[in-house]
Amino acid sequence: MKYTTLPTTEIKVSKICLGTMTWGQQNTLREAHEQMDYAISQGINFFDTAEMYSIPGKPETYGATEKIIGSWFKKNKNRDQVILASKIAGPGYAHIRKTGFSKMAIHEALEGSLKRLQTDYIDLYQLHWPERPTNCFGIREYPYQKDTQWEDNFSEVLTTLQECIQAGKIRHIGVSNETPWGLMRYLEESKQKSLPRMVTLQNAYSLIQRSVEIGLSEVLLKENVGLLPYSPLAFGVLSGKYLNKSPKDARVNLFPAYNRYSSPQATTAVEKYAQIASQNGLSLAQMSLAFVNQLPFVTSTIIGATKMEQLKENIASIDLNLTPEIRAQIESVHREIPNPAA
């Protein structure tokens, strides 16, 4: 395994982060424990979860993933071996307490996560998605709305998170599904008012969704914020399994609403990337992950799997270094079909 540190901290994390959102719905407790055991054995020390997991979010599985992780900590007594990240849900889910980032909501969400995870602290606590209308989750353009219920609360959010840090319940903070404007606002509020700093951004990034490079990558590099890319295999689309007859238990088949990586343009791009991988004797999944792993603004790539053979292949991508020739081939496809799933 390769390691780095969370930006502006001394926290050492593996360059591969174990994603967990299928645990409690697509994966059983036993399977989740097996994945964590294997990940630790391969040198992964960074796990990412969220209060709303497992996915898709619904009342009967709310908090299920955190409970599974908590049971694993209790069983193995190894909380100190893991850098643990979790998230507070933004608005939109009626079954998740009173969602949003008010002072009361943040404290309530954090206490719930700590209880389910059976821990006293979370290393990286993230805002899962903004309260204000933004273009994330497959929305390409900014959804301008003249009248919105959102009121500027960046300072209030950071002040509340500072209270949680001072209480020893979280160590560092980050954002997810954020825009360049939102990230910069948090960073400026932090500078001007001596409030905690967002150290990471968790956004979707893959060969077919590289919109982070439009504005955000400059912020990440110049402001020293680390990207934690999620969906680097685009819901498994970049494994190539949907190019043929895919398994019935594959995510996009189980949950048809998760189709943002399955447009005709995205499928054409995946076919071209699959051809590059084949020509160079690589698996498409490992080539796709290696491309993300090697980016200068990436701190740790979040991988997830429902089957152990997938997990093993994904983790092994850390040992693959793409040649300049392969990267040039990839860029050629990107110029032809840029961001088909953005």
What's the Cα-to-Cα distance from 165 to each of 107, 112, 125, 175, rounded to whole Å?
Answer: 11, 16, 10, 16
* Cα distance between residue 113 and residue 108, in whole Å: 9
Contacts 24+ apart (CB under 8 A), 184-191: 184/219, 184/223, 185/154, 186/154, 186/157, 186/158, 187/219, 187/223, 187/225, 189/154, 189/155, 189/158, 190/158
Does residue 230 carry a catalytic annotation?
A: no
Residue of 3, 38, 53, 205 with catalytic role:
53
- 326 within 8 A of 276, measured Cβ to Cβ: yes
CA dihedral 30, 31, 34, 40 (to 10 degrees): -120
Question: Which of 78, 67, 176 is closest to 129 using CA atoms?
Answer: 176
Report the SS3 class of residue 3: strand
* Cα distance between residue 246 and residue 243, in whole Å: 7
DSSP letter assigned to residue 35: H
Residues annotated as catalytic (active site), given as ranges: 53
